[in-house]
Chains A and B, each alone.
Chain A
Amino acid sequence: MFAEAIEDILRDHCTPAVVRAIEAGGSPAALWDTLASAGFLELLAPESSGGAGLPLAELFPVFALFGRYAVPVPVAQSIAARALVGEGVQLPAGLLTIAPALQRDAAGGIRCPLVPFGAIADVVLAADGQRLVLLPGAQAQHTPSGIAHSQLASLYWSDPAAAEPMAGDAAALAPMAAAMQAALLAGALTRVFEMTLQYCNERSQFGKSLGRFQAVQHQLSVMAEQVAAASIAAEAAFQDEGRTPRLLPAAMAKARASEAAPGVANTAHALHGAIGVTEEDDLQLFTRRLHEGRMAYGGESYWNRLVGESVLAGTVSLVEFVRAA
């Protein structure tokens, strides 16, 4: 139900032109206000606080849609944050993002490396050891990633007091972020696949459409397999009754989606030919996000290592482990 409403809004208000404008430094305010005023930021807030109290399973399609439309604002992070902070905790207004990590230097300065939407976020939520903290974007030193069109930035606060402790579940941040990013990837992967399929049906060479060539067909078949696998792995992380995803399904979701991302992006570009790497073609809006999303909040090697450690530390068979995960 929410998914349909969100898609209607995204189709009208998050067009490729809007994505480009915001990536170029244009104001995200109009898009943000549209999403906020429709109540979508409060999807995970409990109904007692005026939210929608959405179960996780209904959240997955919403996150996937944000990926499908290459949404250039941290709406997914802002929604996810409501499930991490304690009930009744008020989050500040504005663009809130989630930091993958927080480090303190000897002087007490705080560093959050490679924060998705770090370049435009008003507020950053991070896990500082066992507790959650909020950090003000405006007071940070921003180090841009140097990646073309990217909203990624590393942030540094020299004043240790900049971190405001927040009641909530710090341990749930990493799995929530991983599962969220896996869902964003699932949406983008599906979109890239559909664009590529359409291109291969429309573009002709040697008197027939590209899709009539066996080599092309087989690449598309493999692409479809990877997209199906990543999507179902991501969806599987959102099936629990709890407020936030469990660690193992979230780990496997992010690992599987991350692993699928470069191959799907690269095959899409291979089949689009040179037009696909131009700025004017929309494909790059999504493939750039596939590569960034693959790395954000831990890539496949990070999460697979965690899963592997869990397997080795246990005593049950792998099949049993996978069944129960």
Chain B
Amino acid sequence: MSELLSAFRYAALPASTQQFRAEVREFLRTSWQPPSPQLRARSWMGFDAGFSRKLAARGWVGVTLPQEYGGASMDAFSRFVLVEEMLAAGAPVAAHWIADRQSGPLINKFGTEAQRRFYLPQICAGEVFFCIGMSEPNAGSDLASVGTRAVKVDGGWKLNGRKVWTTSAQHCRYMIALVRSSGEPADRQKGLSQFIVDLKLPGVTVRPIHDLAGDAHFNEVFFDDVLLADDALIGQEGSGWAQVNAELAFERSGPERIYSSIVLLEHWIGCLRRGGNGAIHCETIGRLATHLATLRHMSIALTTRLVAGESPVVEAALVKDIGTSFEQEIPTLIAAAVAADPAADLDADLLATVFYLTQVAPTFSLRGGTREILRGMIARGLGLR
């Protein structure tokens, strides 16, 4: 059997996560007043620094980071349960999301002891937020062609260039940026490094980008002669490509790649239950339930690999690709159901939520690696290149 396929054997979450799940639900019940479905449908783009701080105070930001740095030393199964409950509810996790999911683990993996001691406790306290510095106007899928440049100067580095599609940059203190630190663009993966950039430094300009749905979570970030200290470098100089791929593995292997449209789906089912008119949609609902159950099994199988200390990069790409197709199908199917009867009364929340998700759904298969890139990665994992 293909090695890639053999990764997807059934596994159950450990029984010990049941208790944790109950605690997370209780936290949500007592610490958060859920807003409308259309706001909750923002999912992990919903920014609420106060919520993140409350979660941090409970000890649940950076749960996989070591306790000695303020984390909870929990395993990937526990993080899976925490994330699943947050996303199922549509809780506003955006503020701490990137730091928790990838920036913190990256610093933990590649950082110096001093960097760990400086950044990780602040992440776990929900005091500082991180954003991702990868894409540029001319470097999207072709990430190795980044042009932002760090030049060595006395006492540090001078940074020039720009990043784009940086979610939440306007609210974040730090960015981990992939930049060229030596050589020429033609060197591609060689000569790249990652820097932790303090966005408050002189020369940094953050400009929000408005999207078609009326939100502004994306940003452009400009660097004009920004002076970085030596200790802004994370990991090895020239190891940026390997490091960013490790970071992407963190980004891609969480359970979130199946839940982006769940708030809409739950709300629609609720409307049908209340209206008593769901019979005609039984097959659609059943099919979506079947797909969700299956994707969840695949995601848990992936999580067992993480817990075993592996880096299931290709497997994560596979789950993300099939997961985002599912996420994108949901608003399409529900909009069709809503449009099936022009005379019917419409739940206003349902209308707003289905339109919001319809408009942003294309981004599900763009962010974190486009569909075409992921399918190429899977092909490589099948031994086809």
Interface residues of A (CB under 8 A from B): 190, 193-194, 197, 200-201, 211-212, 214, 217-218, 220-222, 224-229, 231-233, 235-236, 239, 251-252, 255-256, 259, 300-301, 303-312, 315, 317-319, 321-323, 325
**Which one of A190, A236, A301, A311 contacts B10 once the chains associate, using CB atoms below 8 Å?**
A236
Q: How many residues of B contact A (CB 8 A)?
A: 50
For B279, list chain A residues within 8 Å (CB). Answer: 309, 312
| Contact across chains for B384 and A220 when beta carbons are under 8 A apart | yes
| Contact A322-B384, Cβ < 8 Å, known A217-B375, A308-B286, A312-B278 | no
Measured CB to CB, the closest approach of chain B to A29, in angstroms, equals 31
For A310, list chain B residues within 8 Å (CB). Answer: 286
6 A-B pairs with CB atoms under 8 Å apart are: A211-B379, A221-B376, A233-B290, A255-B290, A311-B289, A312-B279
| Contact across chains for A217 and B379 when beta carbons are under 8 A apart | yes
Measured CB to CB, the closest approach of chain B to A107, in angstroms, equals 35
Measured CB to CB, the closest approach of chain B to A305, in angstroms, equals 5
| Contact across chains for A239 and B292 when beta carbons are under 8 A apart | no
| Contact across chains for B285 and A308 when beta carbons are under 8 A apart | yes
Give the CA-CA distance A225 to B320 in the complex, in Å. Answer: 10
For B294, list chain A residues within 8 Å (CB). Answer: 229, 232-233, 236, 252, 256
Closest B residue by C-beta to A320 = B88
For B287, list chain A residues within 8 Å (CB). Answer: 255, 259, 300, 304, 307-308
**Which one of A225, A239, A312, A317 contacts B318 once the chains associate, using CB atoms below 8 Å?**
A225
| Contact across chains for B297 and A307 when beta carbons are under 8 A apart | no
* Contact digits for B9-33, partner A, Cβ 8 Å, 1 yes 0 no: 1101000000000000000000000
**Which one of A194, A201, A251, A252 contacts B1 once the chains associate, using CB atoms below 8 Å?**
A194
* Contact digits for B101-116, partner A, Cβ 8 Å, 1 yes 0 no: 0000000000000000
Closest A residue by C-beta to B13 = A323
For B262, list chain A residues within 8 Å (CB). Answer: 318-319
Give the CA-CA distance A239 to B300 in the complex, in Å. Answer: 15
Give the CA-CA distance A303 to B292 in the complex, in Å. Answer: 15
Asked if B188 lies at the interface with its beta carbon under 8 angstroms from chain A, I say no
Give the CA-CA distance A305 to B290 in the complex, in Å. Answer: 10
Give the CA-CA distance A255 to B282 in the complex, in Å. Answer: 13
| Contact A239-B12, Cβ < 8 Å, known A224-B318, A227-B5, A232-B294 | yes
| Contact across chains for B318 and A228 when beta carbons are under 8 A apart | yes
Within 8 A of A (CB), among B253-308: 262, 265-266, 269, 272-273, 278-279, 281-298, 301
Give the CA-CA distance A88 to B44 in the complex, in Å. Answer: 56
Give the CA-CA distance A90 to B224 in the complex, in Å. Answer: 84
| Contact across chains for A193 and B2 when beta carbons are under 8 A apart | yes
| Contact A201-B5, Cβ < 8 Å, known A305-B282, A307-B290 | no
For A200, list chain B residues within 8 Å (CB). Answer: 384
Q: In the complex, given contacts A221-B378, A252-B290, what are 11 additional A-B residue pairs having Cβ atoms less than 8 angstroms apart? A: A190-B2, A194-B2, A212-B385, A224-B5, A229-B295, A236-B294, A251-B290, A255-B287, A312-B272, A312-B278, A315-B273
Asked if B136 lies at the interface with its beta carbon under 8 angstroms from chain A, I say no
Give the CA-CA distance A237 to B133 in the complex, in Å. Answer: 43
| Contact across chains for B5 and A228 when beta carbons are under 8 A apart | yes
Interface class of chain A by DSSP: helix
For A325, list chain B residues within 8 Å (CB). Answer: 289, 293
| Contact A235-B10, Cβ < 8 Å, known A221-B379, A307-B286 | yes
| Contact across chains for A217 and B384 when beta carbons are under 8 A apart | yes
Asked if B322 lies at the interface with its beta carbon under 8 angstroms from chain A, I say yes
Give the CA-CA distance A187 to B133 in the complex, in Å. Answer: 44
Asked if B382 lies at the interface with its beta carbon under 8 angstroms from chain A, I say yes
| Contact across chains for A319 and B384 when beta carbons are under 8 A apart | no
Closest B residue by C-beta to A230 = B294
**Which one of B8, B372, B375, B379 contacts A228 once the chains associate, using CB atoms below 8 Å?**
B8
For A317, list chain B residues within 8 Å (CB). Answer: 88, 266
Closest B residue by C-beta to A226 = B322
| Contact across chains for A224 and B10 when beta carbons are under 8 A apart | no
**Which one of A211, A226, A259, A318 contacts B384 once the chains associate, using CB atoms below 8 Å?**
A211
Most chain A CB within 10 A, of B84, B273, B287, B383, is at B287
Closest B residue by C-beta to A317 = B266
| Contact across chains for A306 and B286 when beta carbons are under 8 A apart | yes
Closest B residue by C-beta to A209 = B384
| Contact across chains for A232 and B9 when beta carbons are under 8 A apart | yes
Asked if B4 lies at the interface with its beta carbon under 8 angstroms from chain A, I say yes
Most chain A CB within 10 A, of B4, B269, B290, is at B290
Asked if B247 lies at the interface with its beta carbon under 8 angstroms from chain A, I say no
Give the CA-CA distance A220 to B381 in the complex, in Å. Answer: 11
| Contact across chains for A214 and B376 when beta carbons are under 8 A apart | yes
For B84, list chain A residues within 8 Å (CB). Answer: 319
Asked if B100 lies at the interface with its beta carbon under 8 angstroms from chain A, I say no
Within 8 A of A (CB), among B85-107: 88
For B291, list chain A residues within 8 Å (CB). Answer: 256
Asked if B321 lies at the interface with its beta carbon under 8 angstroms from chain A, I say yes
Measured CB to CB, the closest approach of chain B to A280, in angstroms, equals 26
For B293, list chain A residues within 8 Å (CB). Answer: 233, 236, 252, 322, 325
| Contact across chains for A221 and B286 when beta carbons are under 8 A apart | no
For A193, list chain B residues within 8 Å (CB). Answer: 2, 5
| Contact across chains for A220 and B382 when beta carbons are under 8 A apart | yes
**Which one of A232, A239, A301 contacts B298 once the chains associate, using CB atoms below 8 Å?**
A232
Closest A residue by C-beta to B278 = A312
Give the CA-CA distance A245 to B295 in the complex, in Å. Answer: 20
8 A-B pairs with least C-beta separation: A308-B286, A308-B282, A304-B286, A307-B286, A217-B379, A308-B285, A221-B378, A221-B375
| Contact across chains for B318 and A252 when beta carbons are under 8 A apart | no
For B12, list chain A residues within 8 Å (CB). Answer: 239
| Contact across chains for A218 and B372 when beta carbons are under 8 A apart | yes
**Which one of A220, A232, A255, A307 contacts B8 once the chains associate, using CB atoms below 8 Å?**
A232
| Contact across chains for B10 and A232 when beta carbons are under 8 A apart | yes
Closest A residue by C-beta to B84 = A319
Closest B residue by C-beta to A229 = B294
| Contact across chains for B286 and A305 when beta carbons are under 8 A apart | yes
Measured CB to CB, the closest approach of chain B to A193, in angstroms, equals 7
Measured CB to CB, the closest approach of chain A to B255, in angstroms, equals 11
| Contact across chains for A252 and B289 when beta carbons are under 8 A apart | yes
Closest A residue by C-beta to B315 = A228
Give the CA-CA distance A233 to B286 in the complex, in Å. Answer: 14
For A232, list chain B residues within 8 Å (CB). Answer: 8-10, 294, 297-298, 301
| Contact A197-B2, Cβ < 8 Å, known A229-B322, A319-B88 | yes
